[in-house]
């Protein structure tokens, strides 16, 4: 591969990464706007899931499949693997479609579980493969106590992952 092609590939990889902070609103019907920078990275068809911290996460279908592939490398007979998959992936909503403008509907169960206001202000923090969506109030609580915020959920998910890894890969 020549250096120009390598530069093009590198630029495309960098552009597919998420970064930045935005604020927007969610209306009483659960509709909100996804910033163009996030849409450019995840596409107009994407996945929503409850993150380890308890916030709503937006990710691409590609990254979601990579998570499943990682989990699939461990024994399907492992309780830890099953519990980890259910906790991390079980609440995911695939096939979420954004309109051309970027507007989409957050499913009601995810609005409730992630404590998003309806209506209200939300903060979108993006880094790498994931954009986190927080109610402004919950994000301020998280910032005030990053290690302690939702510590029980975070510890539980980390423990399941550790147990899954200890029980070993199958392929």
Three-class SS state of 15 = helix
* The pLDDT of residue 55 is above 60: yes
Cβ 39 vs Cβ 126: under 8 Å: no
Helix extents (H) in the chain: 3-15, 36-42, 61-72, 79-89, 108-113, 136-144, 151-167
Predicted confidence at residue 98, as pLDDT, reads: 95
* The pLDDT of residue 163 is above 60: yes
* The pLDDT of residue 14 is above 70: no
Q: Which residues does residue 56 pair with via DSSP β-bridges, in sequence order?
A: 50, 133
Q: For the chain, which residues make up each domain, given as ranges? A: 17-167
* The pLDDT of residue 16 is above 80: no
Predicted confidence at residue 67, as pLDDT, reads: 93
* Percent share of the chain, pLDDT over 70: 89
Rounded alpha-carbon distances, angstroms, from residue 61 to 18, 42, 154: 14, 7, 23
* The pLDDT of residue 12 is above 50: no
Rounded alpha-carbon distances, angstroms, from residue 48 to 11, 63, 109, 164: 26, 12, 11, 24
* The pLDDT of residue 132 is above 90: yes
The pTM for the full model equals: 0.85
CATH of 17-167, one of 3.40.1550.20, 3.40.50.300, 3.30.450.20, 3.30.470.30: 3.40.1550.20
């Amino acid at each position: 591969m020549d250096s120009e092609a390598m530069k093009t590939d590198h630029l495309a990889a960098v552009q597919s990464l998420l970064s930045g902070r935005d604020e927007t609103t969610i209306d009483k019907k659960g509709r909100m706007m996804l910033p163009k920078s996030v849409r450019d990275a995840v596409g107009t068809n994407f996945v929503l899931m409850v993150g380890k911290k308890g916030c709503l996460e937006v990710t691409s279908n590609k990254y979601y499949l990579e998570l499943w592939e990682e989990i699939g490398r461990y024994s399907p007979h492992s309780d830890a693997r099953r519990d980890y998959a259910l906790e991390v992936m079980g609440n995911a909503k695939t096939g979420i479609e954004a309109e051309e403008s970027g507007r989409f509907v957050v499913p009601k169960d995810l609005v409730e579980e992630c404590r998003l206001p309806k209506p209200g202000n939300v903060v979108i923090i993006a880094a790498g493969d994931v954009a986190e969506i927080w109610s402004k109030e919950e994000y301020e609580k998280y910032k005030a106590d990053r290690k302690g915020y939702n510590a029980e959920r975070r510890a539980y998910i980390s423990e399941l992952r550790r147990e899954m890894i200890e029980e070993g890969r199958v392929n």
